Amino acid sequence: MPNQPDTESVKRYLMALQDRIRDALRDTDGGAGFREDAWERPDGGGGRTRVMRDGMVFEQCGLNFSHVFGERLPPSASARRPELAGRRFEAMGVSLVAHPWNPYVPTSHLNVRFFIAEKAGAEPVWWFGGGFDLTPYYGFDEDVVHWHRNARALCEPFGEDLYARLKRGCDEYFFLKHRNEPRGVGGLFFDDFDQGGFDRSFAFLRAIGDGYLPGYLPIVQRRWAKTYGERERAFQKYRRGRYVEFNLLYDRGTFFGLQSGGRTESILVSMPPEVSWRYDFRPEPGSPEEDLYERFLVPREWLDQDSESMPSI
């Protein structure tokens, strides 16, 4: 039947997307490339994890594809939709976290996923989710404006208000409540997405997956060779601690993976390879580190009139 959920088409797209991202990051890095581990989940399904370590540009990239299924949705998947508790489920997705060496290059994250929950005698309930976000350690207006311009362009064919709504969702989701600060400068975040039926929703997911690299790679290419020293590297490691805190305290994907019996090494490959914590750290007044807190880690509409007039470089 037309416009019915087609899990095989989603799976083919996601696996091809993982291949394309692997190739693009490998070519950008110019180093040794990715190690691949195929894995199986005892309760059903599995995936393939691709990891780049100690490259020329990237210190670590974790790039996962997973396709898992089971008889009961994990609590993390049904907490917001309790009427689905106890249903059989199928979930698949691609996720990426890229941690560059250079502190002037932001960490970035992409996730695109599909869920379907089924029960005998009832219509299946399905939805798409995902998005992408950017976590700079040193802020550059040009980079963040480019990131958000790209995000808005991807959303525009699907609704005039969609970018604003998904940007707000990203700002709200990637927020460390215990620190009262955002993880980075945002992007897009969506969940329970089924607007316009399966075909249109799937087209939106493809737009987000296909549009990630044009948003991120120009920033990498612009900044990766910029000179840095021990001060910048130390600050990068300190700020990476916030990434760890968010992933372990709030991230639904981490919870779902662990609760559903996924492969722990694959779930935690999003963690940065080197991190530090400092007690009660305060950046020096007037420093670039303070600028990150004062100008970038605050709620901001990057595509307002002032930002739009800024030349891209």
The residues that are catalytic are 109
Question: 248: which 2 tokens?
Answer: 């372990």
3-state secondary structure of 190: strand
Where do the DSSP E strands lie in the chain?
A: 35-40, 45-53, 58-70, 88-100, 107-118, 125-135, 175-176, 181-182, 186-193
Contact 125, 116 (CB under 8 A): yes
Residue 67 annotated as binding?
no
Q: Has 263 been labeled as part of a binding site?
A: yes
The DSSP annotation for 215-235 comes to HHHHHHHHHTT----HHHHHH
Cα 132 to Cα 1: distance, rounded to the nearest angstrom: 32
Residue 31 annotated as binding site: no
Residue 147 Ramachandran class (φ > 0 left, ψ -120 to 50 alpha, else beta): alpha
Question: CA angle, 119 as apex, 67 and 253 as ends, to 5°?
Answer: 35
Distance from C-alpha of 102 to C-alpha of 232, rounded to nearest angstrom: 9
Query: Would the annotation count 262 as a binding residue?
Result: yes
Give the CA angle between residues 52, 113, 159 to the nearest 5°.
120
Q: Which two tokens stand for residue 50?
A: 């691709």
Helices and strands counted in the chain (H then E)? 10, 9
Q: Of 3, 2, 61, 4, which Cα lies nearest the Cα of 27?
A: 61
Annotated binding residue 146 = no
51 belongs to an annotated ligand binding site: no
For residue 131, say whether it is annotated as part of any ligand binding site. Answer: no
Say whether 150 counts as a known binding-site residue: no
Which residues, listed in sequence order, are joined to residue 92 by a DSSP beta bridge?
67, 114
Which residues does the annotation place in the binding site for substrate? 95, 111-113, 261-263
Which residues does the annotation place in the binding site? 95, 99, 109, 111-113, 148, 178, 261-263
Which residues does the annotation place in the binding site for a divalent metal cation? 99, 109, 148, 178
